[in-house]
């Protein structure tokens, strides 16, 4: 089992209802983690309904949903960025 | 390379002049400044910018490093605000300095293109009757492909 | 459209801020500043710029008008000095303002490309042991062809 | 006969030895005017030796050496510009 800090930003944070949580999990990839969250509660199902419009970062580096969580400590989910 | 992520306003003119003064041997300086625009229709009360502390600084430093590898720059600056802003307020600025104008222009455009869709900022527009997250534009993602050859 | 041809120095930071403050509804401001660079080898004492009074103002106004036709600009500024300058001094600046960053960037590059080889300025470099007119570069003429489609 | 103000800039001004002069002429084109000047004095021959590296403006508008002088009041000769 590993302990992950999970962060949510922008409208994803609003749908999940909290900016940050700690989960214990033994899944292998980001996609597995999303599936586990979605199975847990309706809020996540709503938040992750359209994964094509979401981005993910592991330990503050952008990656994709097929990425392995091995060694990860912080996983962040968010919509496409709108800086500048 | 100077990267600042801050809530407080900055003074564009002062920053632009300080950046220019700090350059030694540069012949060309380009700046870009992004301002909060009002909305068509209902006036915008507040533009609020959320960011991902920690990742923001890392992402901006990476973008500035990539620019320094590709172009001959004697200096670069990125300032980006978060928090609440009003129409006309300065959101962010970049500045680049080089011997040559082509390098300074290209590097500034590169910084802007990557900062738009690769740095973790999210804008929200608040009017009297609505609050909505700004959606990313397909053309912002498309703009990145212009730089494919240097990735 | 604000065009100034002058012998006295200008303050880049002050001009950049004033330009930004004067914009209404712009989301993007680009500035370019050209500085006197020192020479490799013998230090440059003075860079002297000669111009053609009358034609200079007309040529710059024409370039700025062409830019306004092509891009959606809420404002543009050209300041160009003549006379004697020293290394590090500001020679000139342009600024453009638009709703969109692409327009502001392209218009500023267009202004610079045309100003380089279509406005009647001539630079002369004076060192302790030599005085020589700066030669135009083939790449400056080449840069114009980038804009052929909008002429 | 027409009266033209002729202006010279940068190294062309130095070779001709003066920034401005008034000439009376009845030539038709810029190239004819250059030929008339070159025939007049060695200084002009030197100044206009390589016309491919020169530019010309009639009444403060850039033009080329084949241009007609009809109606012209001011003709300026100079090397390629080096602004910016």
> Which pLDDT value is given to residue C38?
85
Residue B138 has pLDDT above 90, yes or no: no
Residue D32 has pLDDT above 80, yes or no: yes
Measured CA to CA, the distance from residue B11 to residue B15 in angstroms comes to 6
Encoded tokens for A52: 């094509």
Which residues of C lie inside 8 Å of D (Cβ-Cβ)? Answer: 34, 49-50, 52, 54-55, 58-59, 80, 91-92, 112, 115-124, 133-136, 141
Q: Do residues B109 and B63 make contact, with C-beta atoms less than 8 angstroms apart?
A: no
CATH number of B2-147: 3.90.1170.40
Confidence of residue B22 (pLDDT cuts 50, 70, 90): very high
> Which pLDDT value is given to residue A30?
98
Q: What is the residue-wise DSSP string for B71-90?
A: S-EEEEEEEEE-EEE-TT-E
Q: Do B117 and A61 touch (CB under 8 A)?
A: no
> Which pLDDT value is given to residue D52?
86
What CATH homologous superfamily does A2-78 map to?
Answer: Beta-grasp domain (3.10.20.30)
How many other CB atoms are there within 10 angstroms of residue A72's CB atom?
16
Give the strands of the sheet with C28-35, arranged side by side. B2-6, B73-81, B90-98, B28-35, C28-35, C90-98, C73-81, C2-6
Q: Tens of pLDDT along chain A (84 residues)?
A: 999 999 999 999 999 999 999 999 999 999 999 999 999 999 999 999 998 889 999 999 999 999 999 999 999 999 999 999
Give residue for tokens 């950049």. C16
**In terms of Cα–Cα distance, which of C80, C78, C82 is closest to C64?**
C78
Q: In this prediction, does ipTM exceed 0.90?
A: yes
> Which pLDDT value is given to residue B151?
60
Measured on CA atoms in the order A35, A37, A38, A40, is the torsion positive or negative?
positive
User: In order along chain C (151 residues), what is the average pLDDT of each group of 10 residues?
Assistant: 97 97 94 92 93 98 96 97 96 97 97 96 95 92 88 60
For the residues B95-103, what does the mean pLDDT come to?
96
Query: Which residues in chain B are closer than 8 Å to C143, comparing Cβ atoms?
Result: 102
Mean per-residue pLDDT over chain B, rounded:
95
Measured CA to CA, the distance from residue C16 to residue B14 in angstroms comes to 9
Encoded tokens for B15: 């920053």
> Which pLDDT value is given to residue C151?
60
Measured CA to CA, the distance from residue B23 to residue B33 in angstroms comes to 19
Q: Do B28 and C16 touch (CB under 8 A)?
A: no
Interface present between C and D (3 or more CB pairs within 8 Å) = yes
Strand positions, DSSP E, chain C: 2-6, 28-35, 44-51, 73-81, 83-85, 90-98, 121-127, 130-133
Q: Which chains, if any, share at least 3 CB pairs under 8 A with chain B?
A: A, C
Measured CA to CA, the distance from residue B29 to residue B20 in angstroms comes to 7
Ordered by start, the domain boundaries in chain D are 2-78
């Amino acid at each position: 089992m590993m302990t992950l800090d999970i962060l949510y930003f922008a409208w994803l944070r609003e749908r999940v209802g909290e900016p940050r949580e700690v989960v214990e999990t033994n899944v292998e990839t980001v996609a597995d983690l999303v599936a586990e969250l979605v199975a847990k509660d309706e809020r996540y199902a709503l938040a992750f309904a359209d994964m094509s419009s979401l981005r993910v970062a592991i330990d503050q580096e952008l990656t994709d949903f097929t990425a392995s969580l091995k060694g990860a400590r912080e996983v962040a989910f968010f919509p496409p960025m709108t800086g500048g | 390379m100077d990267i600042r992520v801050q809530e407080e306003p900055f003074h564009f003119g002062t920053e632009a002049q300080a950046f220019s003064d700090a350059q030694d041997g540069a012949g060309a300086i380009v700046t870009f400044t992004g301002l909060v625009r009002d909305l068509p229709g209902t006036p915008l009360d507040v533009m609020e910018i959320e960011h991902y502390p920690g990742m923001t600084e890392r992402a901006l430093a990476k973008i500035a490093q990539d620019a320094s590898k590709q172009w001959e720059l004697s200096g670069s600056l990125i300032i980006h605000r978060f928090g609440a802003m009003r129409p006309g307020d300065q959101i962010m600025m970049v500045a680049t300095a080089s011997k040559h104008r082509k390098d300074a222009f290209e590097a500034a455009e590169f910084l802007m293109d990557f900062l738009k869709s690769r740095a973790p900022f999210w804008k929200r527009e608040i009017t009297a009757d609505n609050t909505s997250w700004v959606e990313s534009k397909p053309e912002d993602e498309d703009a990145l492909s212009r730089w494919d050859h240097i990735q």
